[in-house]
Amino acid sequence: MGRSVTDALPDPGLACPVSPVVDIVFSRWTTPILWSLHTFGRHRFVELERRITGITPKVLTQRLRQLERDGLVVRTYHPEVPPRVEYEISDLGRSLGPLFAHLAEWADGNLEHVEQARRHYDDAGRPGQ
């Protein structure tokens, strides 16, 4: 009979087809991990930990596992003494390169405008107050 307003709203994932990509690629530590592996090649865990300052070992482990699960990172275990584990970006992860290049280009051309807009907004006070 009568439909509620929420019945008429599409699933946000369907309304915006890039939402799943943003969830996968742009979580807090994913981008620096992928960038490091893409730029500097294969890394051991401690090398990544040193390169990405501020990340805790627990979070790095979680993100690497998720990236491996998503197919963006390949984990290679070397059964030697002591055992050695290396991480590298996969072909699927490397395919994100053009996306990151476009974002870097956008950042170069627009971040200063964003900062100016923020300063203007902050100086004017919050609208409606």
Domain tally for the chain?
2
Tell the residue number behind the tokens 């590298």, with chain if given.
Answer: 88
- Whether the per-residue pLDDT at 106 is higher than 60: the answer is yes
Looking at the structure, tell me whether residues 19 and 60 fall in a common domain. yes
Looking at the structure, tell me whether residues 80 and 117 fall in a common domain. no
Looking at the structure, tell me whether residues 124 and 72 fall in a common domain. no
CA 27 to chain CA centroid, Å, is 4
pLDDT value of position 74: 98
Looking at the structure, tell me whether residues 101 and 76 fall in a common domain. no
Looking at the structure, tell me whether residues 60 and 106 fall in a common domain. no
Residues 47-97 have pLDDT tens digits of 999 999 999 999 999 999 999 999 999 999 999 998 899 999 999 999 998
The dihedral over CA atoms of 60, 30, 55, 63, expressed in degrees to the nearest 10, equals -20
Beta strand 84-89 with 43-44 is antiparallel
Looking at the structure, tell me whether residues 83 and 102 fall in a common domain. no
Q: Are 29 and 55 in contact (CB under 8 A)?
A: yes
Looking at the structure, tell me whether residues 33 and 72 fall in a common domain. yes
Looking at the structure, tell me whether residues 125 and 70 fall in a common domain. no
Helix (H, G, I), strand (E, B) or coil at 35: helix
Looking at the structure, tell me whether residues 47 and 13 fall in a common domain. yes
List the CATH number of the domain containing 32: 1.10.10.10
Residues 11-33 have pLDDT tens digits of 665 678 888 888 888 888 999 99
pTM: 0.76
pLDDT value of position 21: 84
Range of the structural domain that residue 102 is part of:
96-129
What single DSSP character describes residue 9?
Answer: S
C-alpha–C-alpha distance, residues 110 and 32, integer Å: 20
Q: Mean pLDDT, the chain, as a whole number?
A: 88
